[in-house]
Amino acid sequence: MKTDNTRTEDLSALREEIERLKEENEHLKNFHHNVFSVHLNKESLNQFDFLNYALNNTTESIITITSKGDIIYLNDTTCKRLGYKRSELLNKNISLIDPTFGPDIWASYWEKLKKVKTFSFFSHQKTKDGTLVPVEITPTYLQYNGAEYCISFAKDLSDIKAAEEIISQTEMMLSTVLVNSSESIALSAVEGIDEYRLLYTNATNLKHINDQCNTNFTERDLVGRMHDDLFLNVYNCSQEELNFDNQKKREAIQSGNRIFYEERFRSGEEILHLESCVTPIFNEKNICTHVLWSARDITERKKAEEEKLILLNETLTLNEELKANEEELRQILDSTIELNAHSEQNELKLRAIFDSTQSINYLLDRAGNILWFNKPANENSMRRFNRGIELNKSIKNYMDAYLHEKFDVLFTQAMRGETVFNELKLNSSGGKRTWIQTTMMPVYKDQTELIGISMNVTDISERKKREEELKQINKELIYQNEQLNQYSYIVSHNLRGPIATILGITNVFESKQTTPELKDALIKHIQKSTYHLDTIIRDLNFILSNTKETDHTRTTVELETELSVIQDLYKLQIEKAEAEIDFNFSKAPTIFAIKSFIHSILSNLISNSLKYKKPNVRVLISIRSERKKNIVVITYVDNGLGIDMEQHRDKIFGFYKRFHTHVEGKGMGLHLIKTQVEMMGGRIEIASEVNKGTAFTITLKHQ
C-alpha cells in the first residue's frame, strides 16, 4: 500500500499533467484526464468529487476507450443523450453506439490516432432507440501506467443543425443541380496520401453502385467511410482498381489541374464504360483539401461507335456536342463548389447558373405549386402563354391542358420517392415535331422528409430525329441486303443455266466434225437460250423498276376506286370464271400510300385468284379493310386451289417460285406483292390450305 507522502507526490504529478493538457484541449477535457489518473484518497476526495461532478454535468459526451475499442468510462451526459444506463455500455465495444467503428475499421483508426495524437471529425452516435445524433468527435490518445487509452469528447451538433436550417434550405436548391445530374458525382476529403474520406455522393452515383453491386445502400451507409474500405469491402473492386483510382487523384493533386480519363468496369457479363473526371480543390494556403469526382456513363455511346461505322461523321459531331455540354456542366459544378464557400451569395449565383442553361427547371412543393424557376422556364411561358410565371401558383397553369393527365401520373410517381424519366412528343403547329424529356426527382429534408419535387424539361428533338434516321437507315440496309442476297441467288442460278448452255453449244459449233445441219440446229438452241436469258433480265428489271420508292409519291388512295379500275381491266377473266368479288371498305375507305403499289398489290392478288381457281367451282373473293389507330389492315380471301404450307412455307414469296404448273406463270407476283408492301413499311401474312383457298393479311401504316 502507498504511503501518504507517495500519494501526495502522485497527486502533484497529476496536477502538472492537467496544466499541460490545458494548452492542448479545452478545460473540461483536462478534468477528465485528471479523474482518469487520480487515485482515491482522503486528501484528494474533495478534488475528485468536484472533478467527477464537472465531468458528469458537462454538455459534452466523454468516453474513455481501450486500444481494443472497449468502453471503460462514460459520463452522465453520454448516458442521458443516448438513453442507456451506465451498466449497459461499460465494457461494451464502441461500435454499439457508433456504427462507423466496426472491428476492421477500429484497427486502422487506432493506428492513425497513435500517430497524430488528436484530431476532430464528424460522425453520428446511435441512441438506444436507434436514432442517429450528429456529433463532432475529438479523440485524444494517451498512455498511462503502461496502458494505451483514448479519451473521446463528442459535441452534440443537433442544435447547430437546427440553427443552420435556413442555410440548408438555400443549399438544398444548390444540391438539386447535383442530385438531378445525369452524371455520377462524389466529393471526398483528403486526409493523407492516398487517404480519402467520402463526404457526398449524388443519387445517380448511388444508383450506379447499387446496380453494379446488386445492393441497396443509402447515402448514409457510404458517407464518412474511407475510400480503401469502400472500394474493397463495399464496391467489390480489386486492389488494382483501387490503385488506379488513387493514381488519378494523385495526378490531379500534383498537377493542380482537372484530370479526364476513361474507366471500364465489368457488371455481370456486360462491360460498363465511364468517362470520368477528377478535380482537386485547394484552400487559401494552396493545400488540396478535397477532390471532386464525376463520371458519365458512355456505354451506349461506345456500342454505337463500334456498331454504326456508317454514321461515323455524325457520331463525331454528336461527340463534340456532348463534350461541349459536359464542359458546361463542369463549369456549373465548379461554380457550385465555389458557392458553397460563400453561402450569402448562393441564391444569386445559383440563379445565374440555371438561367444560362437551355433546360427548363422548376422546384415544386408537395401540391405541385412553383417554389422556384429559372429564366428559360419564364421565357417559355411568355412565348407560349404570353404571361410570366408567378410563384406559389400551380405548374399546370403553365402547360397545355392535354399534358395535365400525364403530369399527374409522373408527379404521383415522384411523390412516392421515385426518380421519373419520361419522353413525350408535343402537339405543335406547322408540322414541326418537338420531343421533350421530363425528369422529376423527389427532394428531401434531412434525407427522410419529402418536401417537394425537382422538375427538369429538356428539348430532345434533335436526338429523336437522329434516332429515327438511324432506324430508317438500318431498316433500308437490312432490306437492301435481303434483296441483294435474293438477286444474287437469281443471277447465280437462273442466269448461269442459259449462259452455260450457250458456252457449251459454242464449243460444239467450233468443232471440225460439226456438220452444217448440226450448226443450224445449234444456232436455234443458242437463240432459244439467248431468249431465255433476255426474259430473266427483263423480269429482274421489272421487279427493280416496280420497287423503287423514290419513283413514287405517297398520296391518299381510295380503295374502292382502285378496285373498280382493276375489275374493268380483268372484266373478261372475271366473267369467264364467273367470279364474285365481295368487298367492304367502310371501316377504312382510304389509305395514305403509294398509289401504284396499291394497284399492283390488288391486281396481282385478283390475277392469282382467277388463274389458280378450282376446276368447275365459281371463284369467290372477299376483300375487307379496317383502321386501327394509325394503321390500315387489308384482308383478302379466296376459295382457290390453295398452297401446301408445310411444304412451301419458306418459298411462298420467293422469286420464280410457282406452286401450280397447269397454267402459265413466272412466279413473280407474290414476290412483287411482298416487296412493295415492305417498301411502304408494312407486312404481309398468308394462311392457306390445299383445295380450300388462301387468305392474305396486309398491314400498312396510314401516315
Residue of 12, 132, 151 lying closest to 83 (CA atoms): 132
Q: Where are the beta strands (DSSP E) in 575-630?
A: 580-587, 590-594, 620-628
The grid cell for 236 is 467489390
In order of 249, 658, 661, 688, 697, the CA distances from 647 in angstroms are 68, 12, 16, 12, 21
Phi first, then psi: give them for residue 398, nearest 5 degrees.
Answer: -120, 30
The residue whose grid cell reads 456486360 is: 270
**Pairing outcome for strands 61-66 and 259-267:** unpaired
676: number of Cβ within 10 Å: 25
Q: In the prediction, which pLDDT does 482 show?
A: 57
- The three grid cell numbers given for residue 427, joined into one nine-digit string: 402537339
Q: Which residue has the cell 474493397?
A: 232
Q: Let me know: does 686 contact 652? Beta carbons within 8 Å.
A: yes
Question: pLDDT averaged over consecutive 10-residue blocks of the chain (703 residues)?
Answer: 49 53 47 47 58 80 90 90 90 88 83 88 89 90 88 83 57 62 86 90 84 83 88 82 89 90 73 86 91 85 74 68 69 61 54 66 89 85 86 88 88 89 76 79 85 87 79 64 55 55 68 69 67 55 52 80 86 85 92 86 86 85 90 92 70 52 52 82 86 89 74
CA distances to 10, 18, 35, 48, 481 from 42, rounded to whole Å, are 13, 20, 15, 10, 104
Cell 486500444: give the residue: 67
Rounded distance between C-alpha atoms, residue 114 and residue 94, angstroms: 17
Q: Which backbone phi and psi does 345 adopt, to 5 degrees?
A: -110, 5
Question: Closest Cα to residue 175, out of 379, 13, 333?
Answer: 333
Beta strand 121-126 with 71-74 is: unpaired
List of long-range contacts for 19-22, beta carbons under 8 Å, 24+ apart = none
DSSP secondary structure letters along 210-270: HHHHT----HHHHTT-BHHHHHHHTS---HHHHHHHHHHHHHHHHHTS-EEEEEEEEETTE
Closest CA to 280 of 254, 253, 255, 260: 253
Q: Count Cα neighbours of 65 within 13 Å in the Cβ-side half-sphere.
A: 28
Q: What is the pLDDT of residue 369?
A: 92
DSSP 388: -
Written in H, E and C, the secondary structure of 12-79 is: HHHHHHHHHHHHHCCHHHHHHHHHHHCCCCCCCHHHHHHHHHHHHHCCCEEEEEECCCEEEEECHHHH
Is residue 271 a contact partner of residue 299, using CB atoms and an 8 Å limit? Answer: yes
Model-level pTM? Answer: 0.32
Return the bridge partners of 686, or none: 696
Query: CA–CA separation, 137 vs 224, rounded Å?
Result: 13
Closest among 37, 10, 31 to 19, alpha carbons compared: 31
436: nearest Cα among 408, 466, 459: 459
108 phi and psi angles, rounded to 5 deg: -70, -35
Helices (H) and strands (E) in the chain, counts: 25, 22
Dihedral sign (CA 260, 261, 266, 271): positive
CA atoms within 13 A on the CB side of 427: 5
Cβ–Cβ under 8 Å, residues 626 and 588:
yes
Q: What is the DSSP-derived secondary structure letter of residue 118? A: B
Contact 557, 565 (CB under 8 A): no
The C-alpha cell that represents 421 in the structure block: 424519366
Grid cell 400498312 is found at 700
Nearest Cα to Cα of residue 669 among 647, 639, 636, 702: 636
- Taking every pair of Cα atoms in the chain, the longest distance, rounded to a whole number of angstroms, is 150
Helix, strand, coil in percent for the chain, rounding step 5 = 50, 25, 25
Helix (H, G, I), strand (E, B) or coil at 582: strand
CA distances from 406 to 409, 425, 674 (A): 5, 12, 39
Q: What is the full DSSP assignment across 654-666?
A: -TT--S--SS---
Say what the pLDDT of residue 425 is: 80
Q: What distance in Å separates the CA atoms of residue 153 and residue 72, rounded to the nearest whole number?
A: 14
C-alpha–C-alpha distance, residues 97 and 124, integer Å: 9
The reported pLDDT for the residue numbered 214 is 81
CA dihedral of residues 605, 609, 611, 617 (deg, nearest 10): -170
Among 191, 29, 206, 203, CA closest to 121: 191
CB atoms within 10 A of CB 296: 19
Amino acid letter, residue 116 = V
Amino acid at 343: S
